[in-house]
Amino acid sequence: MTAAELRRQADALGPWFHNIDLGDGVWTAPDHFLGDYPGVKWRRFADALPADLTGKSVLDIGCNGGFYAIAMKRRGAARVLGLDSDDRYLAQARFAAARLGHDIEFRNLSVYDVGALGERFDVVLFMGVLYHLRHPLLALDLIREHVAGDLLVFQSMLRGSRAVEPVAEDYEFWDMDQFERPGYPRMHFVERAYAHDWTNWWIPNRAGIEAMLRASGFAIEAQPEAEVYLCRTAPVPYGVGAEYPARAEAHGRGGTR
């Protein structure tokens, strides 16, 4: 295939959000408004992930054009499964993976339906998806409950304060000052659109996303990049245990340990 033909085929599948090097000087999104994205972000945290994934299984939820799925396959992952609910992105991902010679499976499946997979993965990627969801905490719960086997690589757009303040176990009804503090966990709701994108629904601050990860049963191990967290599955969700047996029962995860 000539470079011109490759360019024509890539353009026919566009517009692309993932800028992927297809070889012969052809990139899928050379004029991306964020530059070489997501490569520029990947280079800031790539060294924090295992360099050798030989024998490991990887699930990429919200795979988009396949950049991260391809990156995991390049590290030797035995199996990589990419999920997205947009057939256009799945067509892009299949094209890029085939062009680069990688055997990656892609399926049309919502994050809310990951339980249908019936298996756990050594590494789960959940990159750039949470703020596009109407029900973000539910999504994190389902990932923890059904598919996360060990490592979660999580990324979200963050807005608001970068401060993270200690949160008390409980507050009295008339104690409201904490809601005004910049480092209190919060989510910003987008009623209409943000960045000309109507699929942006919820944008957390740093304290908010860290609290949500803990509440869903993930222990934050590292933050190698401003928006990226490496998490391990935790035995009991944060805030669910002896102090709050009703919450434990509501989550269906039993009582104390």
Classify 206 as helix, strand or coil: helix
Of residues 95 and 245, more confidence is placed in: 95
The pLDDT tens digits of the residues spanning 102-124 come to 999 999 999 999 999 999 999 99
Q: Is residue 155 a contact partner of residue 126, using CB atoms and an 8 Å limit?
A: yes
pLDDT band per the 50, 70, 90 thresholds, residue 253? low
For the cut 90, the answer to whether the pLDDT of residue 174 exceeds it is yes
For the cut 50, the answer to whether the pLDDT of residue 164 exceeds it is yes
Nearest Cα residue to 189 out of 160, 214, 215, 212: 160
> What pLDDT is attached to residue 238?
47
For the cut 70, the answer to whether the pLDDT of residue 250 exceeds it is no
Number of other CB atoms surrounding residue 233 within 10 Å: 17
CATH of domain 52-231: 3.40.50.150
Classify 197 as helix, strand or coil: strand
For the chain, which residues make up each domain, given as ranges? Answer: 52-231
Percent above pLDDT 70 for the chain: 91
Mean per-residue pLDDT for 154-162?
97
Mean per-residue pLDDT for 2-24?
97
Placement of tokens 């947009």 in the chain: 86
Number of other CB atoms surrounding residue 54 within 10 Å: 9
Mean per-residue pLDDT for 223-245?
75
For the cut 90, the answer to whether the pLDDT of residue 254 exceeds it is no
The pLDDT tens digits of the residues spanning 90-105 come to 999 999 999 999 999 9
For the cut 90, the answer to whether the pLDDT of residue 241 exceeds it is no
For the cut 80, the answer to whether the pLDDT of residue 60 exceeds it is yes
The residue count of the chain comes to: 257
> What pLDDT is attached to residue 8?
97
> What pLDDT is attached to residue 41?
96
E-state strands within the chain: 21-23, 26-27, 57-61, 79-84, 105-108, 121-127, 148-155, 187-189, 202-204, 218-225, 228-233
Q: Is residue 62 a contact partner of residue 111, using CB atoms and an 8 Å limit?
A: yes
> What pLDDT is attached to residue 234?
84
> What pLDDT is attached to residue 1?
82
